[in-house]
Structure formats: structure tokens, C-alpha cells
């Protein structure tokens, strides 16, 4: 099943960046559009909520990229 595309282009680009780094996406219901899970498949792995309508889409996309790039588990599976 294909992942739904986020309506905001900056946030969609940030989600694609995360997926290219090995993060997994899971859609959700409610306030969050979805969640991103880091490559480490452990209980204390990093998670990021992706909001459907954040106050500042540009800042939210920048925050997603920053958290993906600073994940301490990034090289856990390599």
C-alpha cells in the first residue's frame, strides 16, 4: 500500500528525506497525519509526529529534518 502524500510540499519533502534515511512511516488518525519511526527497531527508538496542519509548516518541516539528521540510532542497522 502506498503512503499518502502530505498536502504541504515542505512537509512532504521532509517526510521523503526521513524515508530516504531509513525511517518508517505509519499513518495515524486524529491530530497527527502520521508518525515517523527511526531505523532502530528498539523500544527507545526515536519517533516524530507529523502534524496535518501545523501553525508553521516551514518550521515543522525543518524540525522533522533536524530530528532525522540528529538521530543517535541512524547507523544502528549498518
In whole angstroms, what is the distance from residue 74 CA to residue 21 CA?
8
15 part of a folded domain: no
For 32-51, write each residue's pLDDT tens digit.
999 999 988 777 889 999 99
69 part of a folded domain: yes
67 part of a folded domain: yes
Question: Quick one: pLDDT at residue 77?
Answer: 45
Taking residues 2-29, report their average pLDDT.
Answer: 93
Question: Quick one: pLDDT at residue 45?
Answer: 84
* Per-residue b or e along 34-61, where b marks 16 or more CB atoms closer than 10 Å to that residue's CB: bebbbbbeeeebbebebbeebeebeebb
42 part of a folded domain: yes
pLDDT band at 29 (very low <50, low <70, confident <90, very high): confident
**Which of 24, 32, 30 is closest to 60 using CA atoms?**
32
76 part of a folded domain: yes
Q: Which domain holds residue 31?
A: 24-78
Taking residues 13-31, report their average pLDDT.
Answer: 93
Q: According to DSSP H, which parts of 2-77 are helical?
A: 9-20, 57-69
50 part of a folded domain: yes
Amino acid at each position: 500500500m502506498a503512503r499518502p502524500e502530505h498536502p504541504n510540499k515542505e512537509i512532504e519533502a521532509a517526510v521523503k528525506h526521513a524515508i530516504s534515511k531509513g525511517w518508517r512511516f505509519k499513518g495515524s488518525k486524529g491530530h497527527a497525519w502520521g508518525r515517523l519511526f527511526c531505523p532502530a527497531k528498539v523500544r527507545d527508538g526515536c519517533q516524530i509526529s507529523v502534524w496535518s496542519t501545523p501553525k508553521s509548516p516551514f518550521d515543522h518541516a525543518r524540525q522533522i529534518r533536524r530530528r532525522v539528521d540528529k538521530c543517535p540510532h541512524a547507523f544502528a542497522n549498518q
